[in-house]
Structure 1
Amino acid sequence: MAGVQRRSALRVVSAYRTVSEDAALVLAGTPPVNLLAVERKATHGGLKRSEARDATMIQWQQRWESATRGRWTQRLVGDLNYHLTQLLAGHGCFGTYLHKIRKEATPS
């Protein structure tokens, strides 16, 4: 299940397969499937959804902070701003994107 989630996250963020699972999930904004399973179990056990989600997010943040892979991504995400978001998404003042949305005649 985690493998399918990783491949999906890579597709969502248009990343290469060499991007770590942790980084891909953070960029996609998707908590790991095993944490989601624990969250679902907690809500069926009577815990409020919001409390279960808060616990999931805390665990995910701790996991991300202690991860050994995705360090470069973690440094970038820590300083995320408008321009970096445009760069990571491939949108913005890039010739290929502007050509794709028909704002420029050529990709260069």
Structure 2
Amino acid sequence: MKVFFELNGQPRVIRVPNRAIKAQTKARPKADPANPAHIGAPMPGVIASVTAALGQKVKTGDLLLTIEAMKMETGIHADRDGVVKALHVSAGSQVDAKDLMIEIE
């Protein structure tokens, strides 16, 4: 809904959100900091590439994915040996800080 009014002789327009309408997008699960199997997004951004695959064995230091934020790319590496149990993102996905991206078992 838009509200038109005049303030100090200047016409103004304000968009007022309808709080009765629920969000159409599904919220991503957040990484549990107490769970070492969860790898969360360190910052908001866009997933540039995903190099890990479901069921892939990874070693400490292996590149899992890259995040692009503020025109810089940040590599996310495995912090321990394991197997990729779940991938919650794909290339081009938008993520917020602490969103769950990968689970390693």
> Shorter-chain TM-score: what band?
under 0.3
Q: TM-score if structure 1 supplies the norm length?
A: 0.22
Structure with higher Rg: it is 2
Higher RCO (CA 8 Å, separation ≥ 6 residues):
2
Q: TM-score if structure 2 supplies the norm length?
A: 0.22
Structure (1 or 2) with the greater strand fraction = 2
